[in-house]
Amino acid sequence: MLQIVLYQPEIPPNTGNIARQCVGMNACLHIIGPINMDLSSSAVKRAGLDYWDQLDLTFHKQADDFLTWLGDRKPWLVSKHGKLRYDCVDYADGDILIFGNEITGIPEKWLSQWTDRTVYVPILGNIRSYNLANTTGIVLAHASLKAGIYDQNNI
């Protein structure tokens, strides 16, 4: 199972769409706080997120809590400043993929610490960046295929 990590997400619809993608692709979602959105049962029910109770969700109150959970494991960091194209990586079941905040991205310290494990999705047109939920969907789908979590013959 792949582990999707959102670093301090700010836009609730992005978080909801990524959560839906995680449920649909059987991936775990980790959210690193602090965040300014209500993820309580009543709030997600009001928002119509009928899949939320099926989500494998871990909330880390702050970055240090996440880093403690991470331990010695080496994550993949997805950033428009990444070194490797996202489809040129050999992902494995259990890999951890970190996506940055919609405004500030991934902390520079993390990008420097794992510089050889930073990936990007090519931007061919004249835009600044892709939407966080779209980028997560692209990378999660490809990583799932590469990791052998599913293939075209067994879905």
The structural domain count of the chain equals: 1
Mean pLDDT of the chain: 91
The residues, ordered by sequence, that sit 6+ positions from 64 with a Cβ below 8 Å of its Cβ are: none
pLDDT at 41 over 70: yes
Domain of 7 in residue numbering reads as 3-146
Given this model, what pLDDT does residue 149 score?
Answer: 83
Residue 89 and residue 76 in contact, taking contact as beta carbons nearer than 8 Å: yes
The contacts of residue 2 (CB under 8 Å, 6+ apart) are 25, 27, 28, 91, 93, 94, 95, 96, 97, 140, 143, 144, 147, 149
Measured between alpha carbons, how far is 77 from 84 in angstroms, rounded to an integer?
10
CATH of the domain at 122: 3.40.1280.10
Per-residue pLDDT band at 152 (split at 50, 70, 90): low
How far apart CA 66 and CA 106 sit, in angstroms, is 13
Task: Give the model's pLDDT for residue 53.
Answer: 87
Residue 153 within a domain: no
Only one residue has tokens 């049962």, namely 41
Residue 77's pLDDT is what?
Answer: 98
31 to each of 27, 63, 71, 83, 131, how far by Cα in Å? 13, 10, 16, 24, 17
Widest CA span in the chain: 42
Name residues whose C-beta falls within 8 Å of residue 36's C-beta, 6 or more positions apart in sequence.
Answer: 10
Report the alpha-carbon distance of residue 99 to residue 14 in Å, rounded: 12
Nearest to 20 by CA among 59, 46, 60, 50: 50
Q: Is 152 within a domain?
A: no
Confirm whether 154 is domain-assigned. no
* pLDDT tens sequence across 68-87: 999 999 999 999 999 999 99
